[in-house]
Structure 1
Amino acid sequence: MANLRAIRLRIRGVKNIAKITRAMEMIAASKMRKAQDRGLAGRPYSEKITAVIAALSALTAGKGGDPLLAQRPVKKIALLQITPDRGLSGGLVGNINRAALNFAVEHRETPLQMVVVGKKGLDAMRRAQRNIVAEFTGLGDKPGLYDTLPISRIIMDDFKSGVVDEVYVAYTQFVSTMVQKPVIIKLLPVEPAEIPPTQNVEYIFEPDAAAVLGSLLPRYVEMKIYHLILESIASEQSARMVAMRSATQNANELIGELTLEYNKARQESITAELLDIVGGVAALA
């Protein structure tokens, strides 16, 4: 009887867990659609401004460009790591933290400072005793551009002042609902693009190409970081929805197994009681 009571309590507990994971799956699905729309909507703009900046950099090469284009001997680098504030998102947090730590190991001969966005990355980098110069948490699921401007300012100020000579960003690229890929890209300095002869069209810039480039570069860095944060949020919500769906399915399977075990134990208990009754009747006869 005690065994039956324990199985009943366990079934009840697993059912409660399944209800919670199902609710979290539905919430993540709702947030995922909005995050995907925001991330995908900004992708064309991000790609276009990247192409424009690269082309302008090529046109102004060798003319004393903007400080954000300065190519210097690499004595110190910075890594901006973008992670979620919360867990329960499958292997997403572990993958991006592992990619950032591997990057640090690969560049162990060069001093590395980190700017960390998100509690999960912050906790991991603190445990690894990395040099964290700035931390940002609590951006939420729907940050605006103004919410991310302090991150961009720190990155640009450190690069302009020569504190760091290169800046990289570690984020989770949204590929599809089922696939989120940890990626590390170089943000600064912006490297001029090779313009094919077929696309080498003469444009007139007012006041000149260098002035336009100088005005666009800070906006480019701000929008690039903002877009990468949106990509990471879309990846987080997608990974959480998939993880909660898997947890719900596993809970339902476990409930089925426990129910079968309960029925078997109950049947054995009933059979034992019947045998006791039959034995007692036979003894009395």
Structure 2
Amino acid sequence: MELVAASKMRGAIVRMNNVRPYVEYANKIIKNVVAASIDYPNPYLFQRDKKRVGYIVTSTDRGLCGGLNINLFKHMLKDIKKHLENRVEVDVCVIGLKAETFFRKIKDVNVVATASYVEKDKEASIRMIGGAVQVMLDKFKAGEIDRLYLNSNQFVSTIKQQPRQQTLLPIDDIFTESEQEANRKEASNGHWDYIYERDIEEVLNALCLRYIEAQVRGAVLENAACEQAARMLAMKNATDNAGDIIDQLNLDYNKVRQAMITQELAEICSGAAAV
């Protein structure tokens, strides 16, 4: 399984790296759009009071990948607990059977949509994930949730994967404090904006959807790479541990065998001396 996971990991890393430039550029464009002068009140862009929040969480369908899933769930539960303590309700969209099984058991967490990512049928999986995510977008647009977060594993290296939470909606929340300060300085010097060849409402609606789609797809592919890397490492550790157990059992066997031979020789020598 270690060799199979290593082979799958290489393909997953290639797919992850192929989509990363698109995700980064989509992020850059949407930040520029929010920083510019926008008269159209797009519902995805601006903040509102937090009464109900939504989470999209990506996990694996299978186990044998170490603590990859449970570390992500623990990281996510800390944030969920804070919201519940402040009497903020929580909706969850789960991608992966492990997340579905886990969050179905959590009290006060409402699982509203589920999906899975299957490597053998990637395009169908992406369409199914898009349908599940659309449920959360519709709830946000209707005002049923006021924040939407994306939780997934970040691929740092083949031996390190770490949980990550990012804000999807409202898009205004994606700015860091330093970026907000830079935007304020830019605003004081006069706004700039893109030139829209079609109606700004139509362009912004399409752009926001593409941005969210890019973020979710990038997170799913990155989580798939994390899964194979974690599984490869877990299987390597299992193989090494099995080898250590075999070596110890061989040593114990040889000790017992040598003790039996020594005992038999002692009995033969004692019998010969008595004769």
- Alignment correspondent of 2:241: 250
- 2:188 pairs with 1:174: no
| 102-111 vs 203-212, which moves further | 203-212
- Alignment correspondent of 2:165: 184
- 2:118 pairs with 1:140: yes
Q: Which TM-score applies when normalising by structure 1?
A: 0.84
- Alignment correspondent of 1:127: 105
- Alignment correspondent of 1:216: 207
- Alignment correspondent of 2:82: 106
Shift of the alpha carbon at 1:247?
A: 1.1
Shift of the alpha carbon at 1:201?
A: 6.1
Query: Aligned to 1:113, what secondary structure does the other structure show?
Result: strand
The answer for unaligned runs of 5 or more in structure 1 is: 1-23
Q: Higher relative contact order at CA 8 Å, sep ≥6: structure 1 or structure 2?
A: 1
- Alignment correspondent of 2:62: 86
Asked if the contact 1:57–1:213 (Cα under 8 Å) also holds between the matched residues in 2, the reply is no
For residues 184-217 of structure 1, the C-alpha deviation after alignment (integer angstroms, 9 at most, x for no partner) is 111001118655759x766422025443222211
Asked if the contact 1:66–1:214 (Cα under 8 Å) also holds between the matched residues in 2, the reply is yes
Asked if the contact 2:91–2:112 (Cα under 8 Å) also holds between the matched residues in 1, the reply is no
Question: Structure 1 pair 130/202, CA: closer, same or farther in 2 (3 Å)?
Answer: closer
Consecutive aligned runs of 4 or more in structure 1 exceeding 4 Å deviation: 192-198, 200-203
- 2:29 pairs with 1:52: yes
Query: Aligned to 1:68, what secondary structure does the other structure show?
Result: coil
RMSD over equivalenced CA pairs, Å: 2.2
Q: What are the residue-to-residue correspondences of 1:270-281 with 2, within 5 Å? A: 270-281=261-272
- The CA distance in 1 between the partners of 2:34 and 2:199, in whole Å, is 12
Q: Which TM-score applies when normalising by structure 2?
A: 0.87
Among 131, 144, 147, which residue is 1:163 paired with?
144
Query: Aligned to 1:66, what secondary structure does the other structure show?
Result: coil
Shift of the alpha carbon at 1:132?
A: 2.8
The answer for unaligned runs of 5 or more in structure 2 is: 176-181
- Alignment correspondent of 1:116: 94
- Alignment correspondent of 2:8: 31
Shift of the alpha carbon at 1:124?
A: 2.0
Shift of the alpha carbon at 1:171?
A: 0.7
Q: What are the residue-to-residue correspondences of 1:55-70 with 2, within 5 Å? A: 55-61=32-38, 63-70=39-46
Query: Aligned to 2:93, what secondary structure does the other structure show?
Result: strand
For residues 79-124 of structure 1, the C-alpha deviation after alignment (integer angstroms, 9 at most, x for no partner) is 1111111111111111001011111112121111111111222222
Shift of the alpha carbon at 1:135?
A: 4.1
For residues 48-76 of structure 1, the C-alpha deviation after alignment (integer angstroms, 9 at most, x for no partner) is 01111121223243x13222224221111
Query: Aligned to 1:139, what secondary structure does the other structure show?
Result: coil
Query: Aligned to 2:157, what secondary structure does the other structure show?
Result: coil
- The CA distance in 2 between the partners of 1:208 and 1:64, in whole Å, is 10
Q: Number of aligned pairs?
A: 260
| Identity level (%) | 36
